Amino acid sequence: MNLAVFDLDGTITRHDTLFPYVWGFLKRRPWRCPGLLFVLPTLVQFALKRADHGQLKSALIRATLRGCTRAEIDAWTARFVPNLLAHGLFADALDRIAAHCAQGDRLVLMSASTDLYVPAIARELGFAEVVCTGVRWNGDRLSGELTTPNRRGAEKAHCLRDLRAHHPGLATTAYGNARSDLEHLRLADKAVLVNGTGRARREAARDGIACVDWR
């Protein structure tokens, strides 16, 4: 048995998942749409490199979903996930997941996306473990601050080290799609860059990381 660690957005899914998740929720509650305006200051700071991806993520969630109940969020997740699985995944990703399952490997989904829906995706796809970005609740109401570091870049590398420490002796295969994923891909015994940009592919090639195109 080996560890098979998959990124989610752009690796298994064809696109980012957080904004479609939020936007789909807002379309069913249009009175919440003006909250998007409150994301603009953080978006400007992000563009100026004065805010990071985690701060932008939290700002979006707080501006649009804060105050929603667990029942509301769970009900939307129960609609969002099946639609994503039916229409938003790379067939080649599903084939690789199935191949690892057939080999008896332990599947880990490691994503910078949030625990509002990533664990539900993991359950449906047969993953044994999930590492993702946590979001704060106040009792039954969503607050929206992050409860963990944003699971991206160097933080993903830290998480992969922790996974390997918890599963000593298991070889690790890791899949990612972004240049920021190269930080943890370099730590794996076998690494695969999926649908990478030209710059990411060049860096991956220098590090001996395989590059593939998934459809």
Per residue in 5-25, pLDDT (tens digit) is 999 999 999 999 999 999 999
**Residue 125: per-residue pLDDT:** 98
Q: How confident is the model over 55-64, as a mean pLDDT?
A: 98
Q: What is the pLDDT of residues 96-131, one digit of tens each?
A: 999 999 999 999 999 999 999 999 999 999 999 999
Q: How confident is the model over 170-197, as a mean pLDDT?
A: 98
Rounded to whole angstroms, the Cα distance separating 166 from 170 reads: 10
Report the predicted TM-score, pTM, of the whole model to 2 decimal places.
0.96
| Runs of H (alpha helix) within the chain | 18-27, 40-47, 53-65, 70-87, 91-102, 118-125, 154-166, 182-185, 198-206
Domains and CATH numbers, the chain: 3-212 (3.40.50.1000)
Position of tokens 């080996």? 2
Task: List the Cα angle 195/153/50 in 5-degree steps.
Answer: 115
Per this entry, what is the length of the chain? Answer: 215
DSSP one-letter code for 69: B
Rounded to whole angstroms, the Cα distance separating 78 from 56 reads: 25
Mean pLDDT of all residues in the chain?
97
